[in-house]
Amino acid sequence: MFNEDAVGLVDGFDRFNDGVMKYFKYEFLGDGTLSVHIEFCARDYRIEGNVWKRVRVIVAHVDEVRSTFSGGQTNVVCSGVKLLKFGEVWCVEVDGDYGPNDPSSLE
């Protein structure tokens, strides 16, 4: 479950701006749930200097996923990663903009 610690981590890496998404994969678990695994290489702004780290993000119990990638290309994060909360539902957004309204697909 997301919480303020997760939001703080994303903010500490400046929302992974100008970082690289190393991989993005789906994993269907035996109990029928879906998890999404994302690895970023990004600068850690909580540490003085130009320190870059690999950060693995695992989102468990995913209800809905939409992704668009071109194979064989580097995926640079240009508009950041946002953790958005709509009621009790969390949304992880990479390089997108939901704007002021809830995503229409979230119930």
Please tell me the distance from the alpha carbon of residue 61 to that of residue 28, in angstroms, as a whole number: 10
Confidence of residue 97 (pLDDT cuts 50, 70, 90): low
Domain edges within the chain: 4-65+74-94
Predicted confidence at residue 107, as pLDDT, reads 47
Q: pLDDT for 53-66, tens place per residue? A: 999 988 888 888 87
Instruction: Provide mean pLDDT across the span 66-72.
Output: 75
Predicted confidence at residue 71, as pLDDT, reads 72
Query: What's the predicted TM-score (pTM) here?
Result: 0.78
Element containing residue 75 per DSSP (H, E): strand 75-76
Predicted confidence at residue 99, as pLDDT, reads 56
Predicted confidence at residue 105, as pLDDT, reads 53
Q: pLDDT for 17-28, tens place per residue? A: 999 999 888 899
Predicted confidence at residue 65, as pLDDT, reads 82
Residue from 1, 58, 60 nearest 34 by CA: 60
Q: Is the pLDDT of residue 67 over 70?
A: yes
